[in-house]
Structure 1
Amino acid sequence: MTANMAASFEEIHVVRNIHGREFLEINHPAVRARISLEGAHIVSCTPSGAKPLLWMSPIDPEEPGKPLRGGIPICWPWFAGERPGPAHGIARTSQWVLTDTTSAPHQLRLMLELPEAAITRQLPGERWRLQAEFVLGQTLSVNLISTNLSDKPQVLSQALHTYLPVRSIHSTRLWGLEGASYVDQVTGVASNIQHGAVTFSGEVDRIYYDHRSPIQLENGDDHLLVISRDGSESVVVWNPWIEKSARLSQFPDDGYLEMVCIEAANAGPDARILEPGESHALSTEIKRV
């Protein structure tokens, strides 16, 4: 931790698991949460008196140097395989530092940063400042802020790869995407229109474009999540279903039954070109209603 910390050490402390991976453990009156310093990866967030807002694989050993399966992986500065290099970029396997915290009775704010030296070492010829702001309380907000420190334009695509819990994927409905256009990554069909709610009866891997509205995740009378986004006109919806679940690392064979990903993104044609000195913020907010 650095100076300028407003939260007490009783609310935030650093712990290492049996493999040596470091986490920020948050124990605040309004919320409990865990954030891996490797990847600035929030793996759990449970508001006081409420159910968890995130899904995390129960069989992930959380080893250093490996992407985690669940929570909110940060895909940056490219999404999937849009550029040469590791899938989903360098941020999720890089070591971040906590730079600032602010505590209030109803929430806790944390700011993490990926050191510039770590970025330039892995991305020669590029200069970025990358910060991740977490606001934790009855809602969870994540704000990923990218600033072009170079003297030339730089291309940015990214995603907040959010895993959300569901009671049963068979009864899950997503509302708010009606009429939106999407690319179906499973069938390869590039031009589709969403009719009615999104439902699940097989693998789903879609990128919806030109979309900004909140999405409602319905999964029973007592399970409604609202996912809002900012700085994003593309959103990824993903569930691996049966066959892919069996092939995924750190993922239970039946894990597909209990999760769905709704990812705030700047993917495909929604990628951004940042001019020198320009910043872009990609945000997601999750709340239970």
Structure 2
Amino acid sequence: MTATKTAGPTEGSTDEPFVHPALFYRGEEEYLDGTVPFIREGLKVGHPVAVAVPGPNLTLLRDSLGGDAASVHFLDMTDAGRNPGRIIPRVLRAFADAHTQTHVRIIGEPIWAGRSSVEYPACVQHEALINPAFEGRDLTILCPYDAERLDEDVLTDAYATHPVTISGGSRSTSPSFAPGQIVDRYNRPLPEAPATAEPQHFGVDELPVVRRFAVARGAELGLSGVRLDDLALAVAELTTNSVVHGGGFGSLRIWAGDSQVVCEVRDRGQLNDPLAGRRPAARDQRGGRGLLLVHTVADLVRIHTGAEGTAIRFYLGGC
């Protein structure tokens, strides 16, 4: 591993247009030292800059930037990135694709101390998938990690998902960068559904029945209004995918989680593209939007795929 002192995450990285460093910080001072110069250097040379971090850090950066904050696109990651599966298409690609004529700088902090163990596998897979999603793009995505509050396993994974790390002002090449291994490692079987969530089996003829069942059950569990509409949309997309791409049939379960409704669709198909559902759909694209729509409306999506088939589980709050 080589380490050098650096004034900013992009210094010495001109060989590759896409740069994806992890910033390990301890306390507010290190956080600001690693992010504010990155933002101001970008603004100085005319780079569009976006910041998508959790609310407290968002406020901290806004206040520290002063008048420069007006030139930065801010997003609260606890909202925009609540579901890690929508960060690439709805946050990172949305900003980068709007500025294709110049280098773009983004600070994205998708993993914070409040993330649950249920969310984390989707978070770390997202970090790994940033690399193939943006390979060759003229873009820097800086990802801060709170080294004081996050578990050691999370920091270890950050070395595997980022080719470069920054800590204490020193920039290093990661000795364990292996994003593909992370995607595979966290492709784990999902925890068992409650025994009370009996599977509703369906083929093409049962699609209307199973969709009505899901909406009725969602309403019983406390969903209403837009959230019930989101459930109906997600179930329609996933059950259609099962019939078209998953062997012609599947099963659906739905149950109450912690202040959430949880819905799972299983079929015999295999999801061989880890970036499926994470690419924005082209304007002239016909079909292929189902999983993207599920990621858009859900608070979390967990996926396991293997030789026996695929399970997609999504979570909706608001109940």
| TM > 0.5 | no
Larger Rg: 2
More strand by share: 1
Q: TM-score, normalised by structure 2?
A: 0.30
Q: TM-score, normalised by structure 1?
A: 0.32
